[in-house]
A and B are shown apart, each in its own frame.
Chain A
Amino acid sequence: MVYLFVRPLGRIGGTKNFHAGVELRPNEMNESDTEERQGDGRVHLSMMVNGALRSLKVEPRMTLLDALREELGLTGPKKSCDRGECGACTVHIEGRRILSCMTLAVMHEGKQITTIEGLERDGRLHPLQQAFIEHDGFQCGFCTSGQIMSALAMIQEAKAGWPSAATADVTKPFATADLSEAEIRERMSGNLCRCSCYPNIVDAVVDATRRI
Protein backbone atom coordinates (compact mmCIF):
# COMPACT_ATOMS: atom_id res chain seq x y z
CA MET A 1 0.00 0.00 0.00
CA VAL A 2 1.33 3.43 -0.91
CA TYR A 3 0.35 6.45 1.12
CA LEU A 4 0.33 9.90 -0.37
CA PHE A 5 0.06 13.09 1.61
CA VAL A 6 -1.13 16.56 0.91
CA ARG A 7 -0.55 19.11 3.61
CA PRO A 8 -2.80 22.17 3.71
CA LEU A 9 -0.97 25.41 4.34
CA GLY A 10 -0.64 26.35 7.98
CA ARG A 11 -3.29 23.92 9.14
CA ILE A 12 -2.15 23.83 12.73
CA GLY A 13 -1.19 27.20 14.11
CA GLY A 14 -1.61 28.94 17.42
CA THR A 15 -4.90 30.35 16.29
CA LYS A 16 -5.38 28.78 12.87
CA ASN A 17 -5.70 32.27 11.45
CA PHE A 18 -4.04 31.50 8.14
CA HIS A 19 -5.61 28.96 5.85
CA ALA A 20 -5.18 28.61 2.11
CA GLY A 21 -3.87 32.16 1.90
CA VAL A 22 -6.87 33.80 3.56
CA GLU A 23 -6.47 35.50 6.90
CA LEU A 24 -9.46 35.15 9.20
CA ARG A 25 -10.49 37.84 11.65
CA PRO A 26 -10.94 36.73 15.28
CA ASN A 27 -14.74 36.60 15.02
CA GLU A 28 -14.42 34.17 12.13
CA MET A 29 -12.38 31.67 14.11
CA ASN A 30 -14.07 28.47 15.09
CA GLU A 31 -15.45 27.91 18.56
CA SER A 32 -12.76 25.67 19.98
CA ASP A 33 -10.11 28.23 19.12
CA THR A 34 -12.06 30.98 20.86
CA GLU A 35 -12.44 28.80 23.94
CA GLU A 36 -8.75 28.06 23.99
CA ARG A 37 -7.95 31.74 23.78
CA GLN A 38 -10.20 32.59 26.71
CA GLY A 39 -8.93 29.80 28.99
CA ASP A 40 -6.66 31.90 31.11
CA GLY A 41 -3.25 30.32 31.25
CA ARG A 42 -1.90 33.54 29.82
CA VAL A 43 1.32 35.02 31.11
CA HIS A 44 2.69 38.54 31.20
CA LEU A 45 5.65 39.23 28.99
CA SER A 46 7.79 42.29 28.26
CA MET A 47 10.09 42.67 25.28
CA MET A 48 11.92 45.55 23.59
CA VAL A 49 10.33 45.54 20.16
CA ASN A 50 11.82 47.89 17.57
CA GLY A 51 13.33 49.94 20.37
CA ALA A 52 10.17 50.33 22.46
CA LEU A 53 9.25 48.40 25.60
CA ARG A 54 6.12 46.38 24.90
CA SER A 55 4.12 44.46 27.49
CA LEU A 56 1.69 41.76 26.46
CA LYS A 57 -0.23 38.80 27.79
CA VAL A 58 0.19 35.56 25.89
CA GLU A 59 -0.62 31.90 26.17
CA PRO A 60 2.64 29.95 26.62
CA ARG A 61 1.96 28.08 23.38
CA MET A 62 1.85 31.26 21.30
CA THR A 63 4.71 31.57 18.84
CA LEU A 64 6.72 34.77 18.71
CA LEU A 65 5.32 35.27 15.20
CA ASP A 66 1.70 35.13 16.38
CA ALA A 67 2.50 37.43 19.31
CA LEU A 68 4.10 40.02 17.01
CA ARG A 69 1.29 39.89 14.47
CA GLU A 70 -1.77 39.45 16.65
CA GLU A 71 -0.89 41.00 19.98
CA LEU A 72 1.38 43.82 18.78
CA GLY A 73 -0.10 44.40 15.33
CA LEU A 74 3.26 44.02 13.58
CA THR A 75 2.21 42.29 10.37
CA GLY A 76 5.57 42.74 8.62
CA PRO A 77 6.73 39.25 9.63
CA LYS A 78 4.61 36.88 7.54
CA LYS A 79 2.99 33.58 8.45
CA SER A 80 3.50 31.35 5.46
CA CYS A 81 4.60 27.76 6.11
CA ASP A 82 4.57 28.02 9.93
CA ARG A 83 7.08 25.13 9.92
CA GLY A 84 10.47 26.82 9.63
CA GLU A 85 10.69 26.02 5.94
CA CYS A 86 10.23 29.34 4.12
CA GLY A 87 11.83 32.21 6.07
CA ALA A 88 8.92 34.67 5.63
CA CYS A 89 8.68 35.15 9.41
CA THR A 90 12.36 36.12 9.87
CA VAL A 91 13.01 38.71 12.61
CA HIS A 92 16.06 39.54 14.72
CA ILE A 93 16.50 38.65 18.37
CA GLU A 94 19.45 40.50 19.90
CA GLY A 95 20.62 41.23 16.34
CA ARG A 96 20.52 37.64 15.14
CA ARG A 97 18.17 36.42 12.44
CA ILE A 98 15.74 33.75 13.60
CA LEU A 99 12.43 32.23 12.50
CA SER A 100 9.68 33.66 14.68
CA CYS A 101 7.30 30.80 13.82
CA MET A 102 9.59 28.22 15.43
CA THR A 103 9.97 29.80 18.85
CA LEU A 104 7.56 30.67 21.64
CA ALA A 105 7.00 34.28 22.66
CA VAL A 106 7.38 33.44 26.37
CA MET A 107 10.95 32.34 25.75
CA HIS A 108 11.99 35.92 24.94
CA GLU A 109 11.19 37.89 28.07
CA GLY A 110 13.35 41.03 28.15
CA LYS A 111 14.89 40.45 24.72
CA GLN A 112 15.49 42.97 21.91
CA ILE A 113 13.32 42.06 18.93
CA THR A 114 13.59 43.82 15.57
CA THR A 115 11.03 43.41 12.79
CA ILE A 116 10.94 44.98 9.33
CA GLU A 117 8.91 47.83 10.88
CA GLY A 118 11.96 48.77 12.93
CA LEU A 119 14.34 49.39 10.03
CA GLU A 120 13.28 52.82 8.77
CA ARG A 121 14.70 55.94 10.41
CA ASP A 122 12.61 59.13 10.50
CA GLY A 123 10.59 58.01 7.52
CA ARG A 124 13.67 57.06 5.51
CA LEU A 125 14.00 53.49 4.33
CA HIS A 126 16.97 51.37 5.35
CA PRO A 127 19.57 51.12 2.52
CA LEU A 128 18.67 47.43 2.15
CA GLN A 129 14.97 48.25 1.71
CA GLN A 130 15.93 50.91 -0.83
CA ALA A 131 18.14 48.40 -2.67
CA PHE A 132 15.25 45.91 -2.93
CA ILE A 133 13.12 48.63 -4.56
CA GLU A 134 15.87 49.79 -6.92
CA HIS A 135 16.73 46.26 -8.02
CA ASP A 136 13.12 45.10 -8.23
CA GLY A 137 13.87 42.39 -5.66
CA PHE A 138 10.27 41.24 -5.31
CA GLN A 139 7.06 40.61 -7.17
CA CYS A 140 4.18 39.73 -4.83
CA GLY A 141 6.18 40.91 -1.82
CA PHE A 142 5.04 38.24 0.64
CA CYS A 143 8.56 36.95 1.30
CA THR A 144 10.20 40.39 1.17
CA SER A 145 10.24 41.36 4.83
CA GLY A 146 11.80 38.00 5.64
CA GLN A 147 14.31 38.38 2.80
CA ILE A 148 15.37 41.82 4.00
CA MET A 149 15.63 40.87 7.69
CA SER A 150 17.58 37.77 6.74
CA ALA A 151 19.93 39.64 4.38
CA LEU A 152 20.68 42.35 6.93
CA ALA A 153 21.80 39.84 9.56
CA MET A 154 23.55 37.74 6.91
CA ILE A 155 25.75 40.71 5.98
CA GLN A 156 26.66 41.15 9.66
CA GLU A 157 27.49 37.42 9.92
CA ALA A 158 29.81 37.73 6.90
CA LYS A 159 31.45 40.80 8.44
CA ALA A 160 31.97 38.81 11.64
CA GLY A 161 33.93 36.28 9.56
CA TRP A 162 31.42 33.44 9.63
CA PRO A 163 31.98 30.86 6.87
CA SER A 164 29.15 29.17 4.95
CA ALA A 165 28.57 25.95 3.03
CA ALA A 166 29.74 27.84 -0.07
CA THR A 167 33.10 28.70 1.53
CA ALA A 168 35.86 26.64 -0.09
CA ASP A 169 38.13 26.51 2.96
CA VAL A 170 36.42 26.91 6.32
CA THR A 171 39.75 26.78 8.16
CA LYS A 172 40.67 30.23 6.80
CA PRO A 173 39.18 33.53 8.05
CA PHE A 174 36.24 34.71 5.95
CA ALA A 175 36.50 38.27 4.63
CA THR A 176 33.56 40.39 3.45
CA ALA A 177 35.31 40.62 0.07
CA ASP A 178 34.67 36.87 -0.26
CA LEU A 179 30.91 37.47 -0.21
CA SER A 180 30.31 36.32 -3.80
CA GLU A 181 26.95 35.72 -5.43
CA ALA A 182 27.33 32.01 -4.68
CA GLU A 183 27.98 32.86 -1.02
CA ILE A 184 24.90 35.11 -0.90
CA ARG A 185 22.69 32.48 -2.50
CA GLU A 186 23.84 29.85 -0.02
CA ARG A 187 23.54 32.14 3.01
CA MET A 188 20.07 33.25 1.88
CA SER A 189 18.81 29.73 1.09
CA GLY A 190 16.51 29.77 4.12
CA ASN A 191 14.34 32.41 2.44
CA LEU A 192 12.14 31.09 -0.33
CA CYS A 193 10.56 33.30 -3.02
CA ARG A 194 7.71 31.64 -4.90
CA CYS A 195 7.82 34.43 -7.51
CA SER A 196 11.45 33.37 -7.99
CA CYS A 197 12.94 36.87 -7.82
CA TYR A 198 16.25 35.41 -6.71
CA PRO A 199 18.53 37.11 -9.31
CA ASN A 200 17.20 40.54 -8.33
CA ILE A 201 17.31 39.73 -4.63
CA VAL A 202 20.98 38.80 -5.00
CA ASP A 203 21.64 42.04 -6.92
CA ALA A 204 19.93 44.06 -4.18
CA VAL A 205 21.97 42.34 -1.47
CA VAL A 206 25.25 42.83 -3.39
CA ASP A 207 24.46 46.51 -3.80
CA ALA A 208 23.39 46.97 -0.18
CA THR A 209 26.52 45.22 1.10
CA ARG A 210 28.52 48.09 -0.40
CA ARG A 211 26.24 50.70 1.18
CA ILE A 212 25.89 49.32 4.71
Chain B
Amino acid sequence: MSSFPKALIAIALAALAGSVLAQDKYPGIGRDATAREVAAWDIDVRPDFKGLPAGSGSATKGQDVWEAKCAHCHGVFGESNEVFAPLIGGTTAKDIETGRVANLSRTDYPGRTTIMKVATVSTLWDYINRAMPWNNPKTLTTEEVYAVTAYLLSLANVVPDNFVLSDKNIADVQKRMPNRNGMTARHAMWPGNELGGVAKPDTANVRCMKDCATEPKVASLLPDFARNAHGNLADQNRLIGPQRGADTTRPERKAGTVIAQAPVEAPKPAPDGAKAAQALLAKHACTACHGIDRKIVGPAFTDIAKKHGDKVDYLAGRIKAGSAGVWGPIPMPAQSLPDADARAIAVWIAKGAAK
Protein backbone atom coordinates (compact mmCIF):
# COMPACT_ATOMS: atom_id res chain seq x y z
CA MET B 1 0.00 0.00 0.00
CA SER B 2 2.86 2.37 0.85
CA SER B 3 4.18 2.15 -2.69
CA PHE B 4 0.85 3.26 -4.20
CA PRO B 5 1.05 6.59 -6.04
CA LYS B 6 -0.89 9.31 -4.27
CA ALA B 7 -3.17 9.83 -7.25
CA LEU B 8 -4.41 6.23 -7.07
CA ILE B 9 -5.13 6.55 -3.37
CA ALA B 10 -7.09 9.72 -4.09
CA ILE B 11 -9.15 7.86 -6.73
CA ALA B 12 -9.77 5.00 -4.33
CA LEU B 13 -10.93 7.43 -1.64
CA ALA B 14 -13.21 9.20 -4.11
CA ALA B 15 -14.76 5.85 -5.10
CA LEU B 16 -15.28 5.01 -1.45
CA ALA B 17 -16.95 8.38 -0.88
CA GLY B 18 -19.26 7.69 -3.81
CA SER B 19 -20.38 4.38 -2.39
CA VAL B 20 -21.00 5.88 1.02
CA LEU B 21 -23.30 8.38 -0.66
CA ALA B 22 -25.16 5.54 -2.44
CA GLN B 23 -25.74 3.84 0.88
CA ASP B 24 -27.08 7.05 2.42
CA LYS B 25 -29.44 7.61 -0.48
CA TYR B 26 -31.93 4.92 0.54
CA PRO B 27 -32.21 5.05 4.35
CA GLY B 28 -34.15 2.23 5.94
CA ILE B 29 -33.59 -0.22 3.08
CA GLY B 30 -31.68 -3.43 3.86
CA ARG B 31 -29.62 -4.40 6.89
CA ASP B 32 -26.25 -6.03 7.50
CA ALA B 33 -26.30 -9.82 7.24
CA THR B 34 -25.13 -11.73 10.32
CA ALA B 35 -22.15 -14.08 10.07
CA ARG B 36 -24.49 -17.05 10.72
CA GLU B 37 -26.78 -15.99 7.87
CA VAL B 38 -23.91 -15.66 5.41
CA ALA B 39 -22.51 -19.05 6.49
CA ALA B 40 -25.93 -20.67 5.96
CA TRP B 41 -26.24 -19.52 2.35
CA ASP B 42 -22.72 -18.86 1.06
CA ILE B 43 -22.08 -22.46 -0.04
CA ASP B 44 -20.43 -21.96 -3.42
CA VAL B 45 -17.02 -23.50 -4.17
CA ARG B 46 -14.88 -21.86 -6.85
CA PRO B 47 -12.27 -23.47 -9.12
CA ASP B 48 -9.54 -22.09 -6.81
CA PHE B 49 -11.40 -23.95 -3.97
CA LYS B 50 -12.42 -20.74 -2.21
CA GLY B 51 -15.49 -21.74 -0.21
CA LEU B 52 -14.55 -25.43 0.12
CA PRO B 53 -15.16 -26.56 3.71
CA ALA B 54 -12.40 -28.51 5.46
CA GLY B 55 -13.06 -32.24 5.57
CA SER B 56 -12.62 -35.54 3.79
CA GLY B 57 -14.47 -38.61 2.57
CA SER B 58 -13.46 -41.98 1.15
CA ALA B 59 -14.49 -43.52 -2.15
CA THR B 60 -15.48 -46.62 -0.17
CA LYS B 61 -17.97 -44.67 1.93
CA GLY B 62 -18.98 -42.83 -1.23
CA GLN B 63 -20.07 -46.12 -2.76
CA ASP B 64 -22.44 -46.80 0.17
CA VAL B 65 -23.96 -43.31 -0.09
CA TRP B 66 -24.17 -43.70 -3.85
CA GLU B 67 -26.04 -46.98 -3.76
CA ALA B 68 -28.52 -45.65 -1.18
CA LYS B 69 -29.18 -42.19 -2.60
CA CYS B 70 -27.85 -41.79 -6.14
CA ALA B 71 -27.86 -45.09 -8.02
CA HIS B 72 -31.61 -45.21 -8.66
CA CYS B 73 -31.24 -42.26 -11.06
CA HIS B 74 -27.61 -42.46 -12.19
CA GLY B 75 -26.98 -46.22 -12.16
CA VAL B 76 -24.58 -48.07 -9.84
CA PHE B 77 -21.58 -46.98 -11.89
CA GLY B 78 -22.85 -43.53 -12.91
CA GLU B 79 -23.41 -44.97 -16.35
CA SER B 80 -27.22 -44.85 -16.56
CA ASN B 81 -28.93 -42.98 -19.38
CA GLU B 82 -32.40 -43.74 -18.00
CA VAL B 83 -33.18 -40.47 -16.24
CA PHE B 84 -30.24 -38.16 -16.83
CA ALA B 85 -27.28 -38.18 -19.18
CA PRO B 86 -24.54 -40.57 -18.01
CA LEU B 87 -21.97 -39.21 -15.58
CA ILE B 88 -19.09 -41.60 -16.12
CA GLY B 89 -17.53 -43.22 -19.19
CA GLY B 90 -15.66 -42.18 -22.30
CA THR B 91 -12.39 -41.09 -20.67
CA THR B 92 -9.00 -42.85 -20.78
CA ALA B 93 -5.68 -42.89 -18.93
CA LYS B 94 -4.26 -40.91 -21.83
CA ASP B 95 -6.87 -38.21 -21.29
CA ILE B 96 -5.85 -37.94 -17.62
CA GLU B 97 -2.29 -37.39 -18.85
CA THR B 98 -3.10 -34.78 -21.51
CA GLY B 99 -6.08 -33.06 -19.91
CA ARG B 100 -8.06 -33.38 -23.13
CA VAL B 101 -10.74 -36.02 -23.70
CA ALA B 102 -10.00 -37.52 -27.10
CA ASN B 103 -13.50 -38.92 -27.65
CA LEU B 104 -14.94 -35.38 -27.74
CA SER B 105 -13.46 -34.82 -31.19
CA ARG B 106 -15.02 -38.04 -32.57
CA THR B 107 -18.28 -37.47 -34.42
CA ASP B 108 -19.13 -41.18 -34.13
CA TYR B 109 -18.88 -41.28 -30.35
CA PRO B 110 -22.42 -41.81 -29.07
CA GLY B 111 -22.60 -39.42 -26.15
CA ARG B 112 -20.92 -37.04 -23.80
CA THR B 113 -20.72 -37.92 -20.12
CA THR B 114 -20.23 -35.41 -17.32
CA ILE B 115 -16.67 -36.61 -16.67
CA MET B 116 -15.83 -36.17 -20.37
CA LYS B 117 -16.87 -32.52 -20.21
CA VAL B 118 -16.16 -31.12 -16.76
CA ALA B 119 -12.80 -29.35 -16.49
CA THR B 120 -12.97 -28.40 -12.80
CA VAL B 121 -13.34 -30.80 -9.88
CA SER B 122 -14.76 -27.92 -7.81
CA THR B 123 -17.83 -28.00 -10.09
CA LEU B 124 -18.60 -31.60 -9.09
CA TRP B 125 -18.19 -30.91 -5.38
CA ASP B 126 -20.24 -27.70 -5.52
CA TYR B 127 -23.10 -29.20 -7.50
CA ILE B 128 -23.39 -32.42 -5.49
CA ASN B 129 -23.37 -30.31 -2.34
CA ARG B 130 -26.02 -27.79 -3.47
CA ALA B 131 -28.37 -29.85 -5.59
CA MET B 132 -28.12 -33.56 -4.78
CA PRO B 133 -29.82 -35.90 -4.15
CA TRP B 134 -32.30 -34.83 -6.83
CA ASN B 135 -35.43 -35.02 -4.67
CA ASN B 136 -33.76 -34.07 -1.40
CA PRO B 137 -31.05 -31.51 -2.18
CA LYS B 138 -28.65 -30.06 0.41
CA THR B 139 -29.09 -33.00 2.80
CA LEU B 140 -25.68 -34.65 2.36
CA THR B 141 -23.06 -34.06 5.07
CA THR B 142 -19.74 -32.51 4.10
CA GLU B 143 -18.11 -35.93 4.51
CA GLU B 144 -20.72 -37.51 2.24
CA VAL B 145 -20.11 -34.90 -0.46
CA TYR B 146 -16.36 -35.59 -0.36
CA ALA B 147 -17.08 -39.33 -0.37
CA VAL B 148 -19.50 -39.29 -3.30
CA THR B 149 -17.15 -37.04 -5.29
CA ALA B 150 -14.30 -39.47 -4.55
CA TYR B 151 -16.43 -42.46 -5.61
CA LEU B 152 -17.35 -40.82 -8.93
CA LEU B 153 -13.72 -39.91 -9.62
CA SER B 154 -12.67 -43.48 -8.79
CA LEU B 155 -15.19 -44.85 -11.32
CA ALA B 156 -13.41 -42.75 -13.95
CA ASN B 157 -9.99 -43.91 -12.69
CA VAL B 158 -9.03 -40.35 -11.82
CA VAL B 159 -8.30 -41.59 -8.27
CA PRO B 160 -7.77 -45.13 -6.90
CA ASP B 161 -10.69 -47.18 -5.49
CA ASN B 162 -9.61 -46.64 -1.87
CA PHE B 163 -8.93 -42.91 -2.25
CA VAL B 164 -9.79 -40.44 0.52
CA LEU B 165 -10.58 -37.05 -0.99
CA SER B 166 -10.01 -33.99 1.21
CA ASP B 167 -9.57 -30.24 1.09
CA LYS B 168 -5.83 -30.93 1.40
CA ASN B 169 -5.46 -33.11 -1.73
CA ILE B 170 -8.25 -31.85 -4.00
CA ALA B 171 -5.88 -29.46 -5.83
CA ASP B 172 -3.76 -32.47 -6.82
CA VAL B 173 -6.86 -34.28 -8.07
CA GLN B 174 -7.63 -31.23 -10.23
CA LYS B 175 -4.33 -31.88 -12.04
CA ARG B 176 -5.71 -35.29 -13.14
CA MET B 177 -9.12 -34.14 -14.42
CA PRO B 178 -9.43 -35.72 -17.90
CA ASN B 179 -10.79 -32.60 -19.63
CA ARG B 180 -9.03 -29.93 -17.55
CA ASN B 181 -7.52 -28.33 -20.68
CA GLY B 182 -10.67 -28.69 -22.77
CA MET B 183 -12.31 -25.27 -22.28
CA THR B 184 -11.79 -22.08 -24.24
CA ALA B 185 -13.12 -18.55 -23.82
CA ARG B 186 -11.76 -17.49 -27.25
CA HIS B 187 -15.14 -16.43 -28.63
CA ALA B 188 -17.32 -13.32 -28.89
CA MET B 189 -20.24 -14.55 -26.78
CA TRP B 190 -19.14 -13.29 -23.36
CA PRO B 191 -20.32 -9.70 -23.01
CA GLY B 192 -17.21 -8.16 -21.39
CA ASN B 193 -13.44 -8.42 -21.95
CA GLU B 194 -12.68 -10.11 -18.61
CA LEU B 195 -11.98 -13.56 -20.09
CA GLY B 196 -9.75 -12.64 -23.03
CA GLY B 197 -12.35 -13.40 -25.70
CA VAL B 198 -12.54 -11.94 -29.17
CA ALA B 199 -14.68 -8.96 -30.25
CA LYS B 200 -15.83 -10.23 -33.64
CA PRO B 201 -18.53 -12.94 -33.89
CA ASP B 202 -17.42 -16.12 -35.67
CA THR B 203 -20.20 -16.19 -38.28
CA ALA B 204 -20.10 -13.57 -41.05
CA ASN B 205 -23.09 -13.92 -43.36
CA VAL B 206 -23.65 -11.10 -45.87
CA ARG B 207 -26.93 -9.41 -46.78
CA CYS B 208 -27.36 -10.58 -50.38
CA MET B 209 -30.76 -9.64 -51.90
CA LYS B 210 -30.88 -10.89 -55.54
CA ASP B 211 -29.78 -14.13 -57.24
CA CYS B 212 -27.89 -15.21 -54.15
CA ALA B 213 -25.68 -18.25 -54.41
CA THR B 214 -27.84 -20.94 -52.94
CA GLU B 215 -29.29 -24.27 -53.90
CA PRO B 216 -32.82 -24.63 -52.65
CA LYS B 217 -32.55 -28.36 -52.17
CA VAL B 218 -34.23 -29.98 -49.23
CA ALA B 219 -31.62 -32.00 -47.35
CA SER B 220 -33.56 -32.91 -44.22
CA LEU B 221 -37.20 -33.21 -43.23
CA LEU B 222 -39.31 -35.38 -40.97
CA PRO B 223 -40.21 -38.76 -42.46
CA ASP B 224 -43.88 -39.69 -42.90
CA PHE B 225 -43.84 -42.17 -40.06
CA ALA B 226 -42.89 -39.37 -37.63
CA ARG B 227 -45.87 -37.29 -38.78
CA ASN B 228 -47.79 -37.71 -35.53
CA ALA B 229 -44.81 -38.10 -33.17
CA HIS B 230 -45.53 -34.77 -31.44
CA GLY B 231 -49.26 -35.40 -31.17
CA ASN B 232 -51.94 -34.11 -33.48
CA LEU B 233 -50.76 -30.71 -34.69
CA ALA B 234 -54.37 -29.74 -35.49
CA ASP B 235 -54.88 -29.54 -31.71
CA GLN B 236 -51.81 -27.34 -31.28
CA ASN B 237 -52.88 -24.45 -33.50
CA ARG B 238 -55.54 -21.76 -33.29
CA LEU B 239 -58.91 -22.79 -34.71
CA ILE B 240 -59.29 -19.54 -36.62
CA GLY B 241 -56.98 -17.43 -38.81
CA PRO B 242 -54.94 -17.82 -41.99
CA GLN B 243 -53.90 -21.38 -41.18
CA ARG B 244 -55.03 -24.46 -39.29
CA GLY B 245 -52.86 -27.08 -37.71
CA ALA B 246 -52.29 -30.10 -39.93
CA ASP B 247 -54.31 -33.16 -38.91
CA THR B 248 -51.35 -35.44 -38.40
CA THR B 249 -53.51 -38.44 -37.52
CA ARG B 250 -54.20 -38.63 -41.26
CA PRO B 251 -51.98 -38.51 -44.34
CA GLU B 252 -51.29 -35.13 -45.94
CA ARG B 253 -54.39 -33.80 -47.75
CA LYS B 254 -54.49 -33.40 -51.55
CA ALA B 255 -53.46 -30.18 -53.23
CA GLY B 256 -56.31 -27.81 -54.06
CA THR B 257 -58.72 -28.82 -51.31
CA VAL B 258 -60.14 -26.03 -49.20
CA ILE B 259 -60.37 -26.27 -45.44
CA ALA B 260 -64.01 -26.06 -44.35
CA GLN B 261 -64.96 -23.48 -41.69
CA ALA B 262 -66.12 -26.12 -39.25
CA PRO B 263 -67.71 -25.00 -35.96
CA VAL B 264 -65.29 -25.06 -33.05
CA GLU B 265 -65.81 -27.66 -30.31
CA ALA B 266 -65.60 -26.61 -26.65
CA PRO B 267 -62.84 -28.34 -24.62
CA LYS B 268 -63.53 -31.25 -22.24
CA PRO B 269 -62.62 -30.73 -18.56
CA ALA B 270 -60.50 -33.35 -16.75
CA PRO B 271 -62.29 -35.47 -14.11
CA ASP B 272 -61.90 -34.05 -10.57
CA GLY B 273 -60.41 -37.20 -9.03
CA ALA B 274 -57.66 -37.30 -11.61
CA LYS B 275 -56.75 -33.69 -10.88
CA ALA B 276 -56.50 -34.28 -7.14
CA ALA B 277 -54.41 -37.41 -7.61
CA GLN B 278 -52.05 -35.64 -9.97
CA ALA B 279 -51.61 -32.80 -7.47
CA LEU B 280 -50.51 -35.44 -4.94
CA LEU B 281 -48.11 -37.01 -7.43
CA ALA B 282 -46.50 -33.62 -7.94
CA LYS B 283 -46.47 -32.82 -4.23
CA HIS B 284 -44.67 -36.03 -3.31
CA ALA B 285 -42.37 -35.98 -6.37
CA CYS B 286 -43.72 -39.34 -7.62
CA THR B 287 -43.44 -38.00 -11.16
CA ALA B 288 -39.66 -37.77 -10.78
CA CYS B 289 -39.63 -41.54 -11.44
CA HIS B 290 -43.11 -42.45 -12.82
CA GLY B 291 -44.94 -41.08 -15.84
CA ILE B 292 -48.73 -41.41 -16.01
CA ASP B 293 -48.63 -43.38 -19.26
CA ARG B 294 -44.89 -43.60 -19.76
CA LYS B 295 -42.10 -45.56 -18.07
CA ILE B 296 -39.34 -43.39 -16.62
CA VAL B 297 -37.24 -45.09 -13.92
CA GLY B 298 -40.25 -46.84 -12.53
CA PRO B 299 -43.27 -48.17 -14.43
CA ALA B 300 -46.04 -45.96 -15.87
CA PHE B 301 -49.04 -45.59 -13.55
CA THR B 302 -51.27 -46.95 -16.29
CA ASP B 303 -49.09 -50.08 -16.46
CA ILE B 304 -49.32 -50.50 -12.67
CA ALA B 305 -53.10 -50.13 -13.01
CA LYS B 306 -53.18 -52.93 -15.59
CA LYS B 307 -51.13 -55.26 -13.40
CA HIS B 308 -52.53 -54.42 -9.96
CA GLY B 309 -55.89 -52.78 -10.69
CA ASP B 310 -58.39 -52.95 -7.74
CA LYS B 311 -55.66 -53.89 -5.18
CA VAL B 312 -55.85 -50.58 -3.29
CA ASP B 313 -54.35 -51.88 -0.02
CA TYR B 314 -51.46 -53.55 -1.81
CA LEU B 315 -50.70 -50.40 -3.81
CA ALA B 316 -50.91 -48.08 -0.78
CA GLY B 317 -48.56 -50.41 1.10
CA ARG B 318 -46.05 -50.51 -1.72
CA ILE B 319 -46.09 -46.74 -2.07
CA LYS B 320 -45.17 -46.40 1.61
CA ALA B 321 -42.73 -49.29 1.98
CA GLY B 322 -41.07 -49.26 -1.41
CA SER B 323 -40.77 -52.15 -3.78
CA ALA B 324 -38.12 -54.27 -5.47
CA GLY B 325 -38.01 -56.88 -8.17
CA VAL B 326 -41.51 -56.41 -9.59
CA TRP B 327 -40.76 -54.05 -12.46
CA GLY B 328 -37.06 -54.42 -13.12
CA PRO B 329 -33.66 -54.10 -11.47
CA ILE B 330 -34.03 -50.59 -10.01
CA PRO B 331 -35.68 -50.67 -6.55
CA MET B 332 -38.16 -48.02 -5.40
CA PRO B 333 -37.12 -46.61 -2.00
CA ALA B 334 -39.64 -46.27 0.84
CA GLN B 335 -41.60 -43.00 0.67
CA SER B 336 -42.49 -40.72 3.58
CA LEU B 337 -45.94 -39.38 2.79
CA PRO B 338 -49.15 -39.33 4.84
CA ASP B 339 -51.17 -42.57 4.76
CA ALA B 340 -54.19 -40.70 3.42
CA ASP B 341 -52.17 -39.41 0.44
CA ALA B 342 -50.73 -42.85 -0.30
CA ARG B 343 -54.24 -44.26 -0.20
CA ALA B 344 -55.65 -41.54 -2.46
CA ILE B 345 -52.93 -42.23 -5.01
CA ALA B 346 -53.55 -45.99 -4.72
CA VAL B 347 -57.29 -45.48 -5.33
CA TRP B 348 -56.56 -43.39 -8.40
CA ILE B 349 -54.16 -46.03 -9.77
CA ALA B 350 -56.63 -48.84 -9.05
CA LYS B 351 -59.27 -46.97 -11.06
CA GLY B 352 -56.98 -46.95 -14.08
CA ALA B 353 -54.74 -43.88 -13.51
CA ALA B 354 -56.79 -41.51 -15.66
CA LYS B 355 -55.20 -38.30 -16.89
A binds B: no
Q: List the interface of chain A (C-beta within 8 A of B).
A: none
